[in-house]
């Protein structure tokens, strides 16, 4: 069975050499303790937890799933003990304020940890993972009493959190939320309604679960403008912080899912449950986006995690499994056949997985620096700086979530393909990765929703293309120093310059068409997002290749020469074999809406 190994060498390359996290941390108000030694200790400790505790439970969670019996939800064998070890290690509070029991370190360190946990065991990672958004939402919008009574035990991990958005009738369209919140004489609210698809909605890992819930006040405006946000604990919390009686929130059922079976996805019924409002009345959806953005970046990590895990499973198999002879002649004459890795198509699949995992990791780590700066601006009371970084991260978020989850799913499928028929059976664990990865393109907003957010809101409506111009300016700043170089760096830099110009022209053309045809944004958006993803990943790969080449040229990378050379060669593969897909997406994005919209709705039927 597949055993995860944390890719610490690649992580350190990005953290220390490509993205200069030591210099980045030195400029943060909460970065003083994030010394290279401290960061390395955290990486090593998280790797041990993931390799020795979480990874062995990945298949167990898939085989056993979660159970609901007599109103009680139980998690798979070993999950409870593993969660206790996670809490004892202080891992939940890594990046949360010291005043609530956290360690006060930059957010990015929590992301590094989450990537390793996600690759080792995504289903388990969802339990503490959903709590992160819950904590961030209460930190930003909760009253002093709510912060005092809830945050210490959420930050410690003793309690977990969820987000309860959708309902049976509404899916992504939260304007249709019907859950009601009735004001009570003591200032609390009684919430009644049903929420579905609630990840970690009920379980036996923690003594209390804190639900962040969207609901409507009496007489609230229709649509999204009339939604408020509430905290609803599984067990009511007293004024002294002590647990009281069981609240009127119960698990009606658990979903039987294609994957992530070890994660309890619940239907929750609220029957006049005691609730407390956070944020302002009728502005709950705005506050919820604090939670959603946290969750979306977390889901982007899932794309990287599954690409990495699938690659780790496929690579040793390709080196050990023998089939036929290489086209260019025998490579292993001592055996009756050559290893799969000698066949060009198998190498194509492995390199695609490697390029997605390592390119995606670089994209997420770049975005994490922005998130660090955003939270730093909050801590230092600099609202304009916060707004700038929030907008910058807002541009990254739909690309990371939409593109990386699609590519992570592709990498998972390629891992199965390397195994051939053996990949389709459960013995090797490859098909589990594909099943687990499938949900990533759906929850926290489907790829189509991310694409509309990117093109419709972030690019066209909010910035009139400015966000694209700013990012492509960064691309040009990197590439211009190497456009006249010979060899792979020169070729890749020239290709990136062309893509920067092309991206801006494409954006302008869509903007002009959308002014005449409102359907243009909807018909172009997914292709536009995928184009953006391929180009953004190309930028990340050029960053890595430039750094590797400089280290080799200076002699500082002599001890890791093979690693750096592999970086350059993988970047070449990406630019020659994967980046050209952007051309098809550009053509699709610029195609007129007619071919999408002309078929009469009545003709969408079975014959």
Q: 301: burial class by Cβ within 10 Å (0-12, 13-18, 19+)?
A: buried
* Contacts made by residues 566-571, CB under 8 angstroms, sequence distance 24+: 567/13, 567/358, 568/488, 568/489, 570/351, 570/354, 570/355, 570/358, 570/541, 571/488, 571/492, 571/541, 571/542, 571/544, 571/545
Same domain, 474 and 413: no
Number of domains forming the structure of the chain: 2
What band does 552 get if pLDDT is binned at 50, 70 and 90? very high
Q: 333: burial class by Cβ within 10 Å (0-12, 13-18, 19+)?
A: exposed
Specify the pLDDT at position 529. Answer: 98
- Percent of the chain past pLDDT 70, that is, above it, reads 99
Query: Of residues 171 and 140, which shows the higher confidence score?
Result: 140
3-state secondary structure labels for all residues of 118-144: HHHCHHHHHHHHHHHHHHHHHHHHCCH
Specify the pLDDT at position 286. Answer: 83
Alpha-carbon gap, residue 275 to 160, rounded angstroms: 17
The 10s digit of each residue's pLDDT in 522-533 is 999 999 999 999
Question: What's the CATH number where 291 sits?
Answer: 1.20.140.10
Same domain, 463 and 580: yes
What band does 290 get if pLDDT is binned at 50, 70 and 90? low
**Total length of the chain:** 607
Specify the pLDDT at position 132. Answer: 92
Distance of CA 246 to the CA centre of its chain: 33
Residues with Cβ within 8 Å of residue 88, at least 6 apart in sequence: none
Residue 550 domain flag: yes
Same domain, 472 and 365: no
pLDDT at 514 over 90: yes
Same domain, 430 and 462: no
Specify the pLDDT at position 5. Answer: 98
The 10s digit of each residue's pLDDT in 23-71 is 999 999 999 999 999 999 999 999 999 999 999 999 999 999 999 999 9
Distances (CA, A) of 480 to 107, 451, 489: 32, 29, 11
Same domain, 500 and 375: no
What band does 82 get if pLDDT is binned at 50, 70 and 90? very high
Distances (CA, A) of 68 to 106, 499, 575: 38, 52, 49
Distances (CA, A) of 554 to 15, 481, 563: 19, 17, 15
pLDDT at 277 over 90: yes
Residue 602 domain flag: no
**Across 389-398, 490-499, 577-586, least confident range:** 389-398
Same domain, 491 and 438: no
Count of C-beta atoms within a 10 Å radius of residue 268: 25
pLDDT at 510 over 90: yes
Residues with Cβ within 8 Å of residue 241, at least 6 apart in sequence: 148, 149, 152
| Boundary-marking domain end, from 446, 462, 487 | 446
Residue 157 domain flag: no
Count of C-beta atoms within a 10 Å radius of residue 51: 16
Residue 405 domain flag: yes
| Boundary-marking domain end, from 400, 426, 446 | 446
Write down the mean pLDDT value for the chain. Answer: 95
What proportions of the chain, in percent to the nearest 5, are helix, strand and coil? 60, 10, 25
Helix 487-516 to helix 466-479 angle, to the nearest 10 degrees? 170
What band does 240 get if pLDDT is binned at 50, 70 and 90? confident
Same domain, 551 and 576: yes
Alpha-carbon gap, residue 581 to 455, rounded angstroms: 19
Residue 282 domain flag: no
Specify the pLDDT at position 142. Answer: 94
Residues with Cβ within 8 Å of residue 310, at least 6 apart in sequence: 353, 411, 412, 414, 415, 416, 430, 433, 434, 437
Catalytic positions are: 444
pLDDT at 197 over 80: yes
DSSP designation for 322: B
Query: Average pLDDT of 332-347?
Result: 94
pLDDT at 607 over 70: no
Count of C-beta atoms within a 10 Å radius of residue 371: 24
The 10s digit of each residue's pLDDT in 349-396 is 999 999 999 999 999 999 999 999 998 998 889 999 999 998 999 999
Same domain, 480 and 550: yes
Specify the pLDDT at position 365. Answer: 97
Residue 113 domain flag: no
Q: Decide if 247 contacts 274 (C-beta within 8 A).
A: yes
The 10s digit of each residue's pLDDT in 559-573 is 889 999 999 999 999
Specify the pLDDT at position 600. Answer: 85
Task: With 0.85 as the threshold, say if the pTM is over it.
Answer: yes
Specify the pLDDT at position 558. Answer: 77
Specify the pLDDT at position 538. Answer: 98
Query: Average pLDDT of 186-212?
Result: 97
pLDDT at 296 over 80: no
Same domain, 472 and 381: no
| Boundary-marking domain end, from 386, 419, 446 | 446
Same domain, 308 and 440: yes
Residue 281 domain flag: no
pLDDT at 606 over 70: no
pLDDT at 295 over 80: no
Residue 228 domain flag: no
Three-class DSSP category at 210: strand
DSSP designation for 55: G
Lookup result for tokens 């992570």: 408
Same domain, 488 and 431: no
Distance of CA 68 to the CA centre of its chain: 28
Alpha-carbon gap, residue 148 to 521, rounded angstroms: 45
Same domain, 582 and 476: yes
For residue 368 the two structure tokens come to 């994490």
Residue 532, domain extent:
452-594
Distances (CA, A) of 603 to 263, 522, 597, 598: 40, 21, 12, 11
């Amino acid at each position: 069975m597949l055993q995860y190994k944390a890719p610490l060498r690649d992580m350190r390359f990005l953290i220390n050499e490509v993205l200069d996290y030591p210099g980045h941390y030195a400029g943060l108000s909460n970065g003083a303790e994030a010394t290279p030694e401290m960061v390395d200790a955290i990486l090593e400790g998280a790797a041990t937890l993931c390799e020795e505790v979480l990874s062995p439970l990945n298949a167990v969670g898939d085989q056993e799933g979660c159970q609901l019996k007599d109103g009680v939800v139980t998690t798979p064998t070993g999950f409870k003990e593993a969660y206790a070890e996670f809490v004892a290690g202080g891992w939940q509070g890594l990046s949360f304020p010291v005043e609530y029991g956290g360690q006060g370190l930059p957010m990015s360190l929590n992301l590094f940890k989450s990537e390793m946990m996600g690759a080792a065991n995504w289903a388990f990672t969802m339990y503490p993972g959903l709590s992160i958004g819950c904590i961030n939402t209460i930190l930003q919008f909760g009253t002093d009493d709510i912060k005092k009574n809830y945050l210490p035990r959420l930050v410690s991990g003793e309690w977990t959190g969820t987000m309860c958005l959708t309902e049976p009738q509404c899916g992504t369209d939260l304007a249709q939320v019907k859950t009601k919140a009735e004001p009570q004489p003591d200032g609390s609210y009684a919430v009644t309604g049903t929420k579905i698809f609630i990840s970690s909605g009920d379980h036996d890992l923690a003594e209390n679960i804190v639900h962040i819930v969207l609901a409507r006040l009496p007489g609230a405006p229709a649509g999204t403008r009339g939604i408020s946000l509430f905290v609803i604990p599984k067990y009511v919390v007293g004024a002294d912080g002590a647990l009281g009686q069981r609240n009127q929130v119960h698990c009606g059922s658990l979903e039987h899912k294609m994957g992530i079976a070890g994660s309890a996805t619940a239907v929750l019924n609220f029957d006049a449950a005691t609730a407390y409002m956070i944020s302002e009345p009728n502005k709950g959806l705005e506050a919820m986006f604090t939670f959603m953005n946290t969750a979306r970046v977390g889901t982007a990590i899932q794309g990287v995690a599954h690409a990495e895990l699938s690659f780790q499973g496929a690579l040793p198999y390709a080196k050990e499994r023998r089939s036929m002879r290489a086209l260019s002649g025998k490579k292993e004459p001592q055996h009756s056949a050559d290893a799969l890795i000698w066949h060009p198509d198998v190498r194509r699949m492995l390199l695609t997985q490697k390029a997605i995992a390592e390119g995606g990791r670089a994209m997420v780590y770049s975005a994490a620096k922005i998130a660090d700066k955003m939270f730093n601006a909050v801590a230092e009371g600099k609202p304009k700086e916060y707004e700038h970084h929030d907008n910058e991260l807002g541009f990254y978020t739909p690309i990371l979530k939409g593109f990386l989850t699609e590519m992570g799913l592709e990498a998972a499928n390629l891992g199965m393909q390397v195994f051939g028929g053996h990949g389709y059976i459960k013995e090797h664990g490859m098909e589990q990765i594909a099943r687990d990865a499938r949900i990533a393109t759906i929850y926290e907003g489907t790829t189509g929703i991310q694409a509309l957010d990117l093109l419709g809101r972030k690019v066209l409506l909010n910035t009139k293309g400015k966000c694209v111009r700013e990012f492509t300016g960064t691309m040009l700043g990197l590439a211009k120093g190497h456009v006249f170089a010979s060899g792979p760096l020169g070729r890749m830099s020239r290709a990136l310059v062309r893509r920067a110009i092309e991206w801006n022209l494409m954006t302008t053309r869509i903007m002009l068409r959308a002014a005449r045809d409102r359907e243009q944004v909807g018909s172009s958006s997914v292709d536009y997002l995928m184009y953006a993803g391929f180009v953004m990943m190309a930028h990340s790969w050029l960053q890595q290749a430039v750094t590797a080449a400089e280290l080799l040229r200076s002699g500082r990378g002599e001890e890791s020469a093979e690693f750096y050379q592999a970086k350059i060669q993988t970047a070449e593969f990406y630019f020659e074999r994967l980046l050209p897909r952007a051309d098809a997406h550009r053509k699709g994005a610029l195609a007129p809406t007619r071919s999408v919209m002309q078929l009469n709705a009545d003709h969408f039927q079975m014959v």
